[in-house]
Chains A and B, each alone.
Chain A
């Protein structure tokens, strides 16, 4: 089958300045605050505090 090529390569100029959504950042920060690692003997347990 013949190879198909796009006429124009994907433009990277739109990539400048794009950032993750604020709610994504907030989720990560809240997850970090909620996550606690409990060590018991040699085992480590994760707990999520609501």
Chain B
């Protein structure tokens, strides 16, 4: 029994250039899996792989129909080269905004964490700070001054002493009493300051 030989790529390409649309269908059918796997193995995204596969064949069709294809018996390597270039274009385009996705056990978010407070904790923190400012206002003027300089202006006790024209020990003492008085006010009003 005579074996039916399937047409070679070169024959299919010639037939396609001559106007046989079915030849293109056969070419796609023959090579789709290998080409698609090649693209997918690079991009790991079905939708992107489909787009690149489609763009590859659009380039193939335009080149063939314009008569610019040189048949050297290397249809598949030529198509693979086009796909390879399109994959590179895809990654160049996405370079400015890289996309991270988890694969298997590896997840980028195991390594990158957001150290900021969540919305609830941020609201609580704002509330505590607001309450604390009110409590500080209750302190005697000299203690309030030292506490503001130390905590909010981040000044050293030496700087505070010079600025308020007192000794360092006095500045330290005022700070100590400011904290003691703050605790007393908090206890007196039964205020809970926690985060």
> Which A residues have a C-beta under 8 Å from some C-beta of B?
4, 6-8, 10-12, 15-21, 24-25, 27-29, 31-33, 35-37, 44, 46
Contact = CB atoms under 8 A, between A and B. Distances in A.
Interface stretch (B30-38, B117-125, B134-142): B30-38
A11 to B, nearest CB: 7
Nearest to B29: A25
Contacts of B53: 20, 24
B87 to A, nearest CB: 15
Nearest to B51: A24
Report whether over half of chain B's contact residues are helix, strand or loop; otherwise say mixed.
Answer: helix
Interface stretch (B60-68, B72-80, B159-167, B187-195): B60-68
A45 B19 CA distance: 17
A4 B103 CA distance: 14
Interface residues of B, number: 28
B41 A28 contact: no
B5 interface: no
Contacts of B61: 28, 31-32, 35
A18 B103 contact: no
Contacts of B157: none
A2 to B, nearest CB: 10
